[in-house]
Amino acid sequence: MIPAEEGDGGMAAVKSGTLYVVATPIGNLSDLSARAKEVLTAVSAICAEDTRHTKTLLQAFGIDKPLIALHEHNEGDIAWKLVERLKTGDSLALVSDAGTPLVSDPGYRLVREVRAAGFAVSPVPGACAAIAALSVAGIPSDRFCFEGFLPAKSSARRERLQNLAREARTLVFYESSHRIDESLVDLVAIFGADREAVIARELTKLFETVLGDTLGSLLEKVQADENQRKGEFVIVVRGCEDDTGVALAEGQRLYAKLVEHMKPSQAAKLAAELSGAPRKSLYGGEAS
């Protein structure tokens, strides 16, 4: 047990003129921390991505607070008004719909403006889907890169993946039920069917599943079972480890360029010669 003074540094629940960035649960309401409850109860007002959603969360904890809508479309316009409130001595909290604000969620501009105006921004840490997934994936977690959501269009998505194909660090992606299938197809096409990955679905919720396998097998499992395409997903992909992976990534990069100027079979032959990747593996880049 940490003595209270050491654990909370003797801090009162909130200080005036401070913006608290508060993490909320990603599914299981019990994951709202005791300190998050204290801070949300004590601040002057709460900035929320979706006020109706946050109202429901607050009601579950008996917290009644003025809510201010702050989303990607108005953040730039209202940040200065919130700074004005801090000047009057108010304390504010920022929450998003789920998890940690600013992580694939609004808040970056507000935090930046508040800090630039000389006011304190203090974190109240808690749930984050990317970190929760990484903590159960069993894929090297000493170095990782968070990539958030991949582009919605397949061509842009493949280009982004192409740029990441040789990344040695573990990669973490967010994905929704609308695109889990097509994103996996593109991951297999660009990273190869043999790359190890984990799909963490509905974490902390009733239908939580954590599937680990090669990308190729994961795609088959997701395509075979409709339930595995429902809910919210984090995809954790092992980084590129060996020369084969590097050659494959380089071969696919070359193939994508060459195929614009020659027949696919010629492009694959030339890309294979230049990169050392097996010719057959490069036809994956041709799909769709």
To ligand SAM, the closest distance from the beta carbon of 132 in angstroms equals 7
| Smallest separation, CB 126 to ligand SAM (Å) | 9
User: Three-state SS across 214-260?
Assistant: EHHHHHHHHHHCHHHHCCEEEEEECCCCCHHHHHHHHHHHHHHHHCC
**C-beta nearest to ligand SAM: residue:** 99
In the complex, the smallest distance separating the C-beta of residue 204 from ligand SAM, rounded to whole angstroms, is 6
Residue 146, beta-bridge partner list: 172
- Cβ closer to ligand SAM: 35 or 269? 35
127 versus 219: smaller Cβ distance to ligand SAM: 127
- Using CB under 6 A, list all residues that contact ligand SAM: 26-27, 96, 98-100, 103-105, 128-130, 174-176, 200-205, 232-234
Q: Compute the least distance from the CB of residue 102 to ligand SAM, in Å.
A: 7
Q: Are 137 and 200 in contact (CB under 8 A)?
A: yes
Angle at 190 between CA 246 and CA 251, to 5 degrees: 45
Residue whose CB is less far from ligand SAM, 105 or 167: 105
Residue among 17 and 107 whose Cβ is closer to ligand SAM = 107
Beta pairing partners, 22: 124
Integer angstrom CA distances of residue 91 from 17, 69, 94, 100, 214: 5, 16, 10, 19, 48
Give 169's contacts (C-beta < 8 A, 6+ positions apart). 143, 144, 145, 239
What's the closest the beta carbon of residue 243 comes to ligand SAM, in angstroms? 32
Nearer to ligand SAM, 209 or 217 (CB): 209
